[in-house]
Amino acid sequence: MNVATGTVLKQRVFREKVETRRSAKDVVTYVKPNDFESIPETSYSIKRAMDLLIGAVALLGFVLLFPLIAFGIKLTSKGPILFKQPRTGKNGNIFFCYKFRTMHVVQKNTKNGLPVVTQKGDNRIFSFGQFLRKTNLDELPQILNVIKGEMSLVGPRPYPVDECAYWNQKFDDHFFRYILKPGITGFAQAQGYRGGTLDEELMRKRLDFDLIYVEKNSIQFDLKIIYKTVKRMIVSDTNGH
């Protein structure tokens, strides 16, 4: 699959309009294509059923691992076990995304209007939190988001609201990621693209993979992405930071 040539969505010609969405605390401005609502959802018919079937198994794993992970978090950092954050989901709607907390509870301020992203060597991450991030186990509580219908097992990753607002202004096709529900993992993550970034070239590559998934998603594609994600977790090649 040739990513360099882009996708149908990437090549669409559209006008833009400004739309505001309200999160828990902030009003965020989005750049939204005028024809976004006219684009049909591209997910396959049994995607929700697969989410619930595999999600039920993953939920059991979450319940079994929760005491051990909770103990590790409490042992190495003061604060809550779970962390929830406003994220941008399907159709640009905002929801609370759950994760195991991997950072000390500190406030980091924005600089020069740029969103706060987690980067390699971030001193907010505590030792056990680093382990959770490297193994992707910090994402396990998002099974709850899947069960609630806010996320899917596979789809474009849900970025924090301020990051989405930033990238919506940078890339005129970024909003097309929101045609589908966000996923615990995605095509970009299966290729090794994880972690926060403000690098436009790197984000462009991620977005290309996301838009390919939006167009080409299928049960076979999802199973392949899940397999590649689990394989990366087992060999500790997630590029998480």
**How many C-beta neighbours within 10 Å does residue 36 have?**
17
Three-class SS state of 112 = coil
**How many C-beta neighbours within 10 Å does residue 166 have?**
19
Tens-of-pLDDT digits for all 241 residues of the chain?
A: 344 334 445 444 333 443 444 444 444 444 455 555 556 666 778 999 999 999 999 999 999 999 999 999 999 999 999 999 999 999 889 999 999 999 998 777 666 778 888 777 788 899 999 999 988 999 999 999 999 999 999 999 999 999 998 998 899 889 889 999 999 999 999 998 887 788 899 999 999 999 999 988 999 999 999 999 998 888 877 666 5
**How many C-beta neighbours within 10 Å does residue 29 have?**
12
How far is Cα 35 from Cα 33, in angstroms, rounded to an integer? 5
Contact indicator for 97, 84 with CB cutoff of 8 Å: yes
pTM of the full predicted structure?
0.81
The residues spanned by each domain of the chain are 58-234
Contact indicator for 36, 237 with CB cutoff of 8 Å: no
Cα end-to-end span (Å), the chain:
28
